[in-house]
A and B are shown apart, each in its own frame.
Chain A
Amino acid sequence: MSNLLALAGVNTHIGHYHILQGVDFVVPHGGLTVLLGRNGAGKTTCLRTIMGLWQASAGRIEFDGTDIARRSTPAVAQLGIGYVPESMGIFTGLTVSENLTLAARDGPLDERRLDWMFRFFPALKKFWHLPAGHLSGGQKQMLAIARAIIEPKKLLLVDEPTKGLAPAIIAHMVDAFRELKRTDTTILLVEQNFHFARTLGDTVAVMDSGRIVHSGSMNDLADDEAQQQKLLGLSLDAHQ
């Protein structure tokens, strides 16, 4: 399997902070890669750097064979990368329909694709003409994901889709991502919820303090409880 996205030695500074300190990892074609790590490890910065919302101060970000590290955000998006930020970035004053129409950059909404999405995000159909600000947290998250995939994308970046959501909605979200995987969309998912990550992930990278500290297959990590504890968890010697 070849890699769709490859980061090599990526450094990002935000003001005086040196957040990414040489990040290397790859996202293979067609799979779902999970980026794990605790709060403040640099996961969100990593996605924002890929999107060009922060500029990398050093390093290469190769997408589909071209270096996109110096590209502007719209240019990155136009290459076929969809982005669901942690804040979801819903336009609350626009209706559900308008949010999706805006995201369909290449023209009118594709009815068939829309029907396909309504199957696993039925709330969107129900509230089609409601301003998105009135949706619940889970519905907003669905809209945010739907918006990112309203047109077929080569790569989807999703930042903590389960944050703040109730268990039943998380279960629903799992189904949606499974459906999405079937369409051969490559996905890079930032998560803290390990269970959610384990259910969906093919490969995994773990970040800490601005670096990748582990990468490999999700199954290997899921089977190795000691490793899990060391990388993610609660054990005494997790740190230094």
Chain B
Amino acid sequence: MQRLLSGDYPRSRVLGIVLVLILAGLALAPFVFPGTRSLNVAAKICVFILLVASYDLLLGYTGIVSFAHTMFFGLGAYGIGIAATRLGPTWSGLAVGSLAALALSALLSLAIGLLSLRVKTIFFAMITLAVASFFAILASQLSWLTGGEDGLTYKLPELLLPGTKLLEAPLLGVVISGRIVSYYIVFAGALCLFLALLRVVNSPFGRVLQAIRENDFRAEAIGYRSVVYRSAANCLSALAATAAGILYAVWLRYVGPDTTLSLDIMIDILLMVVIGGMGTLYGAVIGATLFVIAQNYLQDLMKLASDAAAGIPLLPSLVHPDRWLLWLGILFVLSVYHFPAGIVGRLRGNK
């Protein structure tokens, strides 16, 4: 346990219980929450925990604001999508797609880092925003490769298809199909990579990142070249985001600009990391879980409220299901001011 969590315990009883519940819920999702929609939600939670955790490595631990995270997420997803379309639904095709995406992400993140990480936070944020938006447009324009706005729908190896039955008889009342295999690939992949990130932030390297965040001048003076560490963090974070994209593409069997590259997803990631708690990877778990559940179920609730409020001026449109982001946005602003350590910080009793 000590080794698995890299010595980074939840340090709050409530947080510990919640984390165990989330882990158990995700591990047993196909059996506890059967049904297509709930399994979709569970898989999305797994992917976003990894994606948000990798973003926290940058934002919370290194103090860098990047808007290019969805670009790397998208690279991973498109890697799978393009490979599966071009090379056919084979395992080797998926491997080639994944490796190509990871390599491209590494190169791109290093290039962006070297061009702009020496300078101010704001400058980096602006540059990454420009580059990421360029990629989003690129993906929708190069339709011969990416399917354009429609994206790509593709087949995967047979083992992963819903029609594939692995066991003759249902297990615990659930048919063990290729869908379940896919889910467990996503779950296991996200879990392993999350634990790897947990290890990275608690490694000697991770400590240097925190030192650079606190006082980069002094970190340089005791022998750490901050540009090297920042670039490395940027690259690692990009690779983890790419991996999240790969898992997501395996799950969805579809990739398009709206599911991976759009600025809206970047904003979702920001909301999750800040509300969950920056600078602690457990915040990513809490933030992503809450957000994805809210995204899928809160809207139902709001629809009820909106219908109930029909007739009252303005109120129905304020609680309209599509307006849930308004409330999250307000919560986000309040978080940045009043509890910058987010929900996890609250649970741990920090200020």
A–B touching in complex (CB under 8 Å): no
Give me the interface of B with A, judged by CB distance under 8 Å: none
